[in-house]
Each structure stands twice: as C-alpha cells, then as structure tokens.
Amino acid sequence: MTETKVALVTGAGQGIGRGLALKLAGDGFDIAVVDLPFQTDKGQSVVEEVKALGRNALFVSADVSKRADIVAAVETAAIELGSFDVMVNNAGIVQVKPIEEITEEELNKIFAINVNSVVFGIQAASAKFKELGKRGKIISAASIAAIKGFPILGAYSASKFAVRGITQAAAQELAPAGITVNAYAPGIVGTGMWEVIDQRLHEINGKPLGQNLKENVDSIALGRIETPEDVAGVVSFLASPNSDYVTGQVLLVDGGMLYN
C-alpha cells in the first residue's frame, strides 16, 4: 500500500494556486484546496479536477490573514485527508499605487495577507509536522518583486521582500527538525492578479488596456507570458525529495527577467 501524502495550497481557487494544486495532485499528493469563502464554488471545482486525477481533495474556507483560520485549515487537512506533508503559502493580493498615496489601512491589509499569512502558515505547518514526526516542506509565494522593488508596486514589493526574509530565517530555525522552507519567485503570470495590475496601471498612466502587460511581457527573455504550470514545475520540485538538500532559497521562475 502506498503512503498517503497531503499538500495544502492556499489561494487555490484560481490562478497560480489552482495550477499548483493540479500539479501536486499529478505528483501523487492529496490536496487541501484553501481559499476565502466567496471562492467556494471555484475551490470546489478545483477539488473535482483533483479527484478526476485520481487523488482525494477537499475545500477548506479560510482567511489566511487570520492565524486561527490557518491552524484550523491545517488541522482539517490532516484529519480529513489522513496526513500532512507539504504547506504551500500561495495566497496573496496586489496593490498598485504610488508610494505617496498608500494609506495606513492599505499597508496593514497587504502585510496581513501577504506576510502575516506566511508566518502563520509556517507556524501551523511546522507544529503539525513535528506532531506527526514528519520532515515536511514549506513553500511560499515570493515574486520577482521580492528581489527588486518595482515602482507603483511599493507596498507589494515590501511584502514580498518580507516573505524572502521569513523564508531564510525559518529555514535555519526549522532545519534541525528536518523541515525545509523555500519560496518561488514568479515573474509575469497571466492570472487575475495581472488583470488587476494592468487595469490599475491603465488608470494611473493612461496607456491602453493591455499595453502595460504587453510591455512587461516583451521584457521576458523567453518571449512569452508565464503560466501557472510554469510556476508549478518549480513548486513540484520544492515539494519533492529532489529538493531535500535545498532550504532557505527563493527560486526565480520568471522566464528570464532577473538574474542572480
């Protein structure tokens, strides 16, 4: 009998998170699809897609900016799916605003969703791994904006730099328990998030809708927009035994935009 392996993916109702859920299901993981309550229908569709791949799945509604929600989601995944092996802190939001206009409320919101959630996710997952005696893997969403600050994405860039810092620190703290902590740094991915960015940039700089997206895509060495599947290839590696000797890293998967 093969051992059950369970991965939890936050923000898995759409976009990159959905792509990660399907890829990890293809890799043999049962999947906890986590997203906000208003995404329940989309989340249930992802659950059905995972089941069509022959894996078990369930939707768990949670707001990742709330610690109790994340702890409860991890608990539900472990109990209902029978194990807990990989935590993917993928959920995030973007804000597209000049730095001089960002409000205190907006700053608190983006840090609560993009940063606090990653700390809570690391806390909840490491506690569960230790309880189950697992050498688990924690994987979080960074961005090219975690490596270089982007204008008009100042608060977003700051939040993703924070994810990089937390990843490096947590990797060192959790290494003695055999838990690895890494992050993926996508570039320009064709999801709902870039629809928001393109719309807001259009409102700010007056370029026609689609133009800001096109200019960014034109700067990608590999010459095309990134897909959730492109990101999923890297996350699949980080979730697999092939990455057992990799920790504290932020892996760029951007088609050639930034170079380290």
Ligand X SMILES: NC(=O)C1=CN([C@@H]2O[C@H](COP(=O)(O)OP(=O)(O)OC[C@H]3O[C@@H](n4cnc5c(N)ncnc54)[C@H](O)[C@@H]3O)[C@@H](O)[C@H]2O)C=CC1
Look up residue 226 and give its DSSP letter. B
Q: Say which of 156, 184, 245, 259 is annotated catalytic.
A: 156
Determine if 158 is a binding residue for ligand X (CB under 6 A): no
Partner whose binding site includes residue 36, from ligand CC(=O)C(C)=O, ligand X, none (CB under 5 to 8 Å by kind) = ligand X
Q: Which does 15 bind (CB under 5 to 8 A by kind): ligand CC(=O)C(C)=O, ligand X, none?
A: ligand X
Per-residue b or e along 77-87, where b marks 16 or more CB atoms closer than 10 Å to that residue's CB = bbeebebbbbb
Give 243's contacts (C-beta < 8 A, 6+ positions apart): 137, 180, 182, 237
Is 184 one of the annotated active-site residues of the chain?
no
**Residue 193 makes contact with ligand CC(=O)C(C)=O by CB under 6 A:** yes
Applying CB under 6 A, does 63 fall inside the site for ligand X?
yes
* Residue 118 burial class via C-beta count within 10 angstroms: exposed 0-12, middle 13-18, buried 19 and up: buried
Q: Which of 144, 166, 234, 253 binds ligand CC(=O)C(C)=O (CB under 6 A)?
A: 144
Closest CB to ligand CC(=O)C(C)=O among residues 65, 143: 143
Asked if residue 187 belongs to a known ligand binding site, the reply is yes
List strands edge to edge, sheet with 137-141: 57-61, 30-35, 6-10, 86-89, 137-141, 180-186, 250-253
Taking CB under 6 A as the binding criterion, the range among 38-46, 52-60, 111-119, 139-147 that sits at the site for ligand CC(=O)C(C)=O is 139-147
| One residue of 21, 71, 96, 141 binding ligand X per CB under 6 A | 141
DSSP-assigned letter for residue 113:
I
Interior angle at CA 200, CA 121 and CA 141, nearest 5: 20
The single residue among 94, 96, 231, 238 that binds ligand CC(=O)C(C)=O, judged by CB under 6 A, is 94
Site for ligand CC(=O)C(C)=O in 96-125 (CB under 6 A): none
Query: Kindly report the CA angle at 115 between 114 and 119, in degrees rounded to 5?
Result: 130
Residue (of 190, 98, 215, 103) closest to 151 by Cα position: 98
Active site residues: 156
Task: List residues binding ligand X (CB under 6 A).
Answer: 10-11, 13-17, 35-36, 39, 62-65, 90-93, 113, 141, 143, 186, 188-189, 191-194
